[in-house]
Amino acid sequence: TLKLPYGIVQVVQTVKQNSFSASVSRTNFAAITDLSASIIPTRSDSKVLVQFSVSTSMEGTNGSPAIILYKNGSALSGARSTAGSSGNVTASACFAYSSNLPAGTINMSYLDSPATTSSTTYQCYLTSDQSGNYTVGVNRNNSSSATGYISTITLMEVAAV
């Protein structure tokens, strides 16, 4: 029997089944409604594994939609690139979009150390790599049509056992 020093203590998941869109740019972000989740860690030394899968589309341009992970209302700096320049968004994850692709999925996993036993909320925000504002959709294709896609955010508390 193999005994691991850590285990999953609790799991929280939000499933977004409806569509959403917002006008965003690399400096203008929008909270995705119904795509957040909260967890109350049982120990202050616990980690929280955050995983998201967001179905996105870009309308009117061949730019790339992107997601920035927020924690308690602020961008989670450790889950965001620092390599961006004035031409690139510094996001958590993005999808390279082209006009012949109606939609694509952005996936990411990030292990956070919230260092608290208070409620902690994680939320996905939309952005893009474009300098001007363009419409980015969630759970819809690039022709503004709702689709059968879903998006999810899952939180797992990982603690010493």
**More confident site: 134 or 71:** 71
C-beta separation of 58 from 134 below 8 A: yes
For the whole model, what pTM was predicted? 0.88
pLDDT digits (tens, 9 = 90+) for 29-60: 999 999 999 999 999 999 999 999 999 888 76
pLDDT digits (tens, 9 = 90+) for 103-136: 788 899 999 999 999 999 999 999 888 888 888 8
Residue 106 tokens, joined: 């952005």
pLDDT at 84: 58
Residue 20 tokens, joined: 């959403």
CA dihedral 26, 109, 157, 123 (to 10 degrees): 20
C-beta separation of 159 from 46 below 8 A: yes
